[in-house]
Amino acid sequence: MSEYMQTYQVKRVLSHNPGLKSFRFDRVIEAEPGQFVLAWLPGVDEKPFALSGVFEHEIEITIKAVGPFTNQFMNVQAGDWVGLRGPFGNGFQPIEGMVLVGGGIGNAPLRYLAQRLREERLAFRWVIGVKTAEDLAFRDELESMPECMIISEDGSIGKKGRAVDVLAAMHDNEPIIVLAASGPEAMLLSVHGFANTFSPDIPVQLSFERYMKCAVGLCGQCCLDGTGLRICVEGPVLSGHQLQGVTEWGRPHRGPSGRRPK
Ligand SMILES: Cc1cc2nc3c(=O)[nH]c(=O)nc-3n(C[C@H](O)[C@H](O)[C@H](O)COP(=O)(O)OP(=O)(O)OC[C@H]3O[C@@H](n4cnc5c(N)ncnc54)[C@H](O)[C@@H]3O)c2cc1C
């Protein structure tokens, strides 16, 4: 794959529920966990998605239906052609002893990170947070992984609560040396806050989402105010050190017009 758009045939579709599906494409690429591709449906739009797996002959993205494009993508079937470009951005750095913290669809890139950690024989623990059991993709696979702890807000699967709530107890059990998180921004803020309660603080790698247009660093749509960091180039995974000086963290993001809501 390259930064130029090419069309690829969908090999397989895995339906986790009607609004949450994984799509495998017949394509081999070199990509870090956390990097993303732009998917294009002609006549609809082009939107960014993290890789949820990279296999010998296939790549995979996992999509949650939240709006016009992602709802349309739920109709894509094996044999259909989809435009893809990428991979883009900087991903996670796999580290021995890493603790992964995911919220909802944010667990998708962590699945590829977990795959890479296993391939490199690095130990890890993974806290998988979802609102409800319906939001969990790859349920059978994740329930059988000894590294995973599943937490749901309504208690419909795993332990009841939020992913960040269990970090303190995990740390008491076995000190956390590095955190990798992906999910809603409020969750990233909480993970960062937790990491900063220690001295020295626990290093973090946080994966951010912003409305994206060009994905190659030209348009400025996904810049983080206070630093000018571009989520599509310097991100989407940023370290705690890189985030120093960001003034818009946890505030409403720029929309399609480029304006920030008041
Ligand atoms: C680096 C990155 C990786 C992502 N990985 C995944 C993934 O693995 N799986 C997944 O389901 N989703 C992922 N997303 C989010 C996905 O791009 C949006 O859900 C999608 O663009 C929504 O489009 P829509 O037309 O369906 O909904 P819209 O009506 O456009 O938006 C619905 C919501 O999604 C937000 N959004 C819309 N477009 C974008 C955009 N281009 N970039 C960021 N946020 C947007 C909007 O602010 C709104 O809150 C990722 C986003 C980024 C930036």
The model's pLDDT over 93-140, given as tens digits with 9 standing for 90+, comes to 999 999 999 999 999 999 999 999 999 999 999 999 999 999 999 999
Q: Is the beta carbon of 63 within 6 A of some atom in ligand 1?
A: yes
According to DSSP, residue 201 is labeled P
| 86 touches 61 (CB < 8 A) | no
Round to whole Å and give the CA distance between 211 and 137: 23
CA of 237 to the centre of ligand 1 (A): 16
Round to whole Å and give the CA distance between 121 and 48: 30
Q: Is the beta carbon of 43 within 6 A of some atom in ligand 1?
A: no
Q: What average pLDDT does range 26-31 have in this prediction?
A: 86
CA dihedral 243, 182, 235, 43 (to 10 degrees): -140
CATH numeric code, 6-88: 2.40.30.10
pLDDT in tens, 47-106: 999 999 999 899 999 999 999 999 999 999 999 999 999 999 999 999 999 999 999 999
CATH topology of domain 98-207: Rossmann fold (3.40.50)
Ligand 1: nearest atom to the Cα of 236: 1
Residue 102: closest CA among 80, 124, 78, 128: 128
Which residue's CA is minimally distant from atom 34 of ligand 1? 66
Ligand 1: nearest atom to the Cα of 63: 11
- By DSSP bridging, strand 204-207 and strand 179-182 are parallel
pTM given for the model: 0.95
| Alpha helix stretches (DSSP H) within the chain | 68-73, 107-119, 139-143, 167-173, 185-195, 240-243
CA of 211 to the centre of ligand 1 (A): 7
Intra-chain end-to-end CA distance of the chain, in Å: 39
Residue 99: closest CA among 28, 168, 24: 168
Q: Is the beta carbon of 212 within 6 A of some atom in ligand 1?
A: yes
Round to whole Å and give the CA distance between 198 and 9: 48
Count other C-beta atoms under 10 Å from residue 260's C-beta.
12
Q: Is the beta carbon of 209 within 6 A of some atom in ligand 1?
A: yes
Which residue's CA is minimally distant from atom 17 of ligand 1? 48
Q: What's the chain's average pLDDT? A: 95
pLDDT in tens, 178-236: 999 999 999 999 999 999 999 899 999 999 999 999 999 999 999 999 999 999 999 99
CA of 168 to the centre of ligand 1 (A): 31
Ligand 1: nearest atom to the Cα of 65: 26
pLDDT of residue 257: 84
Residue 173 identity (one-letter amino acid)? N
Both tokens assigned to 8: 């690829």
Phi and psi at residue 119, in whole multiples of 5°? Answer: -60, -35
Model confidence at 2: pLDDT above 80: no
Domain boundaries, the chain: 6-88, 98-207
CA of 123 to the centre of ligand 1 (A): 31
Q: Is the beta carbon of 107 within 6 A of some atom in ligand 1?
A: no
Round to whole Å and give the CA distance between 225 and 145: 39
Count other C-beta atoms under 10 Å from residue 57's C-beta.
10
